[in-house]
């Protein structure tokens, strides 16, 4: 009995490809949709009623083994029976038909809902503030960070000067001070205005948008395989750390916060050493800077820990850890009570989160614990990695810089260029696998946590076939 067959006894044995060319119905539907929606980024139209487990079904009845899972945001696969049960509950119906303004009129169910979620918080975190998306989570974290940073300077008093109260209404200092968030080159933290200012992976995300004048430090670019390049990579780490400290000391305004992904995902699945993350704890403490870890894509199991930064054993823990995607519910975790602003209504909005998603998040996390899916993904990830390592010997150009050893199924590699990457993704699809890319020439694997050894075998077979076709 495998994990997936327990949840999904009717999951297909393997991909089902009925018609590679889109049917007339699909073309019509796409045309219909184009009239009201930007369809230029559409991979295909999905039939979510028929999708099951690790297989996504399209409108033509093709079943693809899905290693992308809605841009890394489905944790357990499609149509999970326990999530369906949660979706039918009275608690869910309430959350939908009378969505509360939680800050003013919290439901009697809220204490339990938040306590439930906190059982799955990263090591050292025991408080939570919720939002609606990854971008939103990060911007809420920035707000908490700025309020904390300024609050610390004035001793967390609740009186503001006349000058502060007046200038803020004109968007000027001292009420609206010049403060920066430091992020990293190739980072992706979202696409709102503050998050776009810390995002630095592709021009397309930010062109024509006014931005805050905030700095991007270099993120390590390692040589692979890691075990053969330890000295070089250590130097890379050291240089990046020096650079960060230099920016903090010389930026035109105070750096109030540092935000970093444990693995840069959208930016190319770039990894950094455990040491790299630990050193920022020291640096942020030294300069009184808020340390924010963005676990939006890396969180909830797929890297072989519930939260990826737990691989680094950061001590004391980071100040704020943001989440979304596989957690379905978005927001940030924290532990220092001073991150609760000194006055009510400072961190506030109409909904303050979404209880419907709390319920989904809770079931997902409970299943991860109950079925020990972390151990499971580690096993499957090691298996996948060993297969990919062998394949890389046969196709070194198409499997460059293989990344994700000891990070479970959070695996990626590079091909030679953008065109080749897109070609490989198309071949994988024609061989029954839905896979995503990142950066310009990387392939990233983001299967669900119920992805089994048998799925890994199917994928490797499809990849082998695709690489053969690509090189033909």
Strand ranges (DSSP E) for 313-460? 320-323, 330-334, 400-403, 412-414, 433-434, 436-438, 442-444
Contact 316, 289 (CB under 8 A): no
373, 236, 225, 243: which is closest to 301 by C-alpha? 373
| Count of residues near its own copies by CB under 8 A | 122
Between 329 and 378, CB nearer to its own copies: 329
Q: How far is the CB of 471 from its own copies (least distance, A)?
A: 28
Between 163 and 228, CB nearer to its own copies: 163
The 399-438 contact track toward its own copies, x by CB under 8 A, reads ----------------------------------------
**Footprint of its own copies on 82-101 (CB under 8 A):** 83-84, 86-88, 90, 92-94, 96-101
Contact 446, 68 (CB under 8 A): yes
**Of the listed 136, 294, 414, 452, which one is catalytic?**
294
Assess 207 for contact with its own copies (CB under 8 A). Answer: yes
452 among known catalytic residues: no
Judged by CB under 8 A, which stretch of 136-144, 367-375, 383-391, 413-421 contacts its own copies? 136-144
Burial status of residue 387 (CB atoms within 10 A of its CB: 0-12, 13-18, 19 or more): middle
Residue from the set 73, 229, 400, 440 that interacts with its own copies by CB under 8 A: 73
Contact 432, 463 (CB under 8 A): no
Please list the residues that pair with 65 across neighbouring strands: 55, 433
Assess 110 for contact with its own copies (CB under 8 A). Answer: yes
Assess 56 for contact with its own copies (CB under 8 A). Answer: yes
Joined together, the tokens standing for residue 171 give 């968007």
Please list the residues that pair with 294 across neighbouring strands: 322
325 among known catalytic residues: yes
Between 113 and 233, CB nearer to its own copies: 113
**Of the listed 142, 146, 188, 334, which one is catalytic?**
188
**End-to-end alpha-carbon separation of the chain, Å?**
39
Between 312 and 443, CB nearer to its own copies: 443
Assess 70 for contact with its own copies (CB under 8 A). Answer: yes
Contact 183, 255 (CB under 8 A): no
Between 71 and 221, CB nearer to its own copies: 71
**Footprint of its own copies on 148-187 (CB under 8 A):** 149-151, 160, 164-165, 168-172, 175-180, 185
| SS3 (DSSP) at 125 | coil
Distance (Å, whole) CA 98 – CA 304: 37
Helices (H), 154-273: 162-168, 193-198, 230-250
Residue from the set 67, 182, 194, 244 that interacts with its own copies by CB under 8 A: 194
193, 146, 136, 71: which is closest to 330 by C-alpha? 136
Residue from the set 18, 61, 115, 285 that interacts with its own copies by CB under 8 A: 115
Assess 313 for contact with its own copies (CB under 8 A). Answer: no
Joined together, the tokens standing for residue 85 give 């049960």
Q: How far is residue 301 from each of residues 2, 118, 120, 151, 378, measured CA to CA in Å?
A: 18, 15, 11, 35, 9
The residue assigned the tokens 């025991």 is 126
280 among known catalytic residues: no
The 34-53 contact track toward its own copies, x by CB under 8 A, reads --xxxxxxxxxxxxxx-x--
Please list the residues that pair with 66 across neighbouring strands: 434
Q: How far is the CB of 404 from its own copies (least distance, A)?
A: 21
Judged by CB under 8 A, which stretch of 138-146, 239-247, 313-321, 365-373 contacts its own copies? 138-146
Q: How far is the CB of 364 from its own copies (least distance, A)?
A: 10
Burial status of residue 461 (CB atoms within 10 A of its CB: 0-12, 13-18, 19 or more): middle
Assess 134 for contact with its own copies (CB under 8 A). Answer: yes
**Of the listed 142, 305, 325, 451, which one is catalytic?**
325
Q: How far is the CB of 183 from its own copies (least distance, A)?
A: 10
Q: How far is the CB of 194 from its own copies (least distance, A)?
A: 4
The 347-376 contact track toward its own copies, x by CB under 8 A, reads xxxxx----x---x----------------
Contact 179, 149 (CB under 8 A): yes
Contact 301, 295 (CB under 8 A): no
Assess 204 for contact with its own copies (CB under 8 A). Answer: yes
Q: How far is the CB of 418 from its own copies (least distance, A)?
A: 14
Distance (Å, whole) CA 65 – CA 459: 8
Assess 344 for contact with its own copies (CB under 8 A). Answer: yes
Q: How far is the CB of 163 from its own copies (least distance, A)?
A: 11
Catalytic residues: 188, 294, 325, 350
């Amino acid at each position: 009995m495998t994990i997936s067959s327990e949840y999904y006894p009717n999951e297909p044995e393997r991909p089902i490809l009925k018609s590679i060319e889109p049917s007339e119905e699909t073309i019509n539907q796409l045309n219909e949709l184009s009239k009201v929606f930007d369809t230029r980024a559409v991979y295909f139209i999905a039939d979510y009623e028929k999708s099951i487990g690790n297989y996504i079904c399209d409108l033509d009845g093709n079943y693809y083994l899905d290693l992308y899972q809605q841009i890394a945001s489905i944790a357990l696969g499609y149509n999970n029976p326990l999530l369906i049960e949660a979706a039918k509950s009275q608690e869910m119906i309430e959350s939908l038909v009378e969505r509360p303004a939680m800050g003013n009129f919290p439901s009697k169910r809220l204490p339990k809902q938040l306590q439930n979620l906190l059982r799955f918080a990263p090591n050292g975190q025991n408080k939570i503030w919720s939002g609606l998306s990854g971008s939103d989570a990060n911007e809420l974290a920035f707000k908490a960070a700025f309020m904390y940073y300024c609050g610390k300077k004035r001793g967390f008093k609740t009186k503001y000067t006349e000058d502060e109260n007046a200038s803020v209404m004109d968007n000027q200092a001292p009420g609206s001070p010049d403060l920066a968030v430091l992020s990293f080159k190739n980072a992706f933290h979202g696409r709102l205005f503050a998050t776009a200012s810390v995002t630095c992976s592709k021009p397309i995300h930010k062109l024509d948008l006014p931005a805050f004048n905030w700095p991007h430090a270099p993120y390590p670019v390692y040589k692979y395989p890691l075990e053969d390049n330890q000295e070089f990579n250590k130097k890379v780490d050291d240089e990046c750390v020096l650079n960060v400290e230099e920016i903090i000391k010389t930026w035109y305004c105070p750096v109030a916060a540092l935000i970093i992904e444990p693995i840069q995902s959208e930016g190319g699945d770039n990894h950094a050493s455990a040491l790299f993350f630990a050193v920022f704890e020291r640096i942020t403490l030294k300069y009184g800077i808020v340390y924010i870890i963005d676990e939006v894509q890396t969180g909830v199991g797929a890297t072989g820990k519930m939260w990826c930064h737990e691989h680094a054993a950061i001590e004391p823990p980071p100040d704020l850890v943001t989440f979304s995607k596989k957690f379905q519910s978005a927001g940030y975790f924290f532990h220092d009570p001073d991150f609760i602003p000194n006055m009510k209504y400072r961190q506030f909005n109409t909904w303050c989160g979404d209880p419907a998603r709390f319920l989904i998040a809770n079931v997902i996390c409970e299943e991860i614990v109950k079925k020990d899916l972390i151990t499971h993904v580690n096993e499957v990830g090691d298996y996948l990695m060993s297969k990919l390592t062998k394949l890389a010997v046969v196709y070194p150009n198409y499997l460059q810089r293989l990344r994700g050893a000891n990070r479970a199924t959070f695996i990626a590699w590079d091909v030679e260029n953008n065109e080749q990457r897109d070609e490989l993704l198309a071949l994988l699809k024609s061989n029954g696998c839905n896979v995503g890319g990142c950066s310009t020439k990387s392939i990233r694997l983001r299967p669900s946590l119920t992805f089994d050894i048998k799925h890994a075998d199917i994928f490797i077979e499809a990849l082998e076939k695709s690489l053969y076709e690509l090189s033909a």
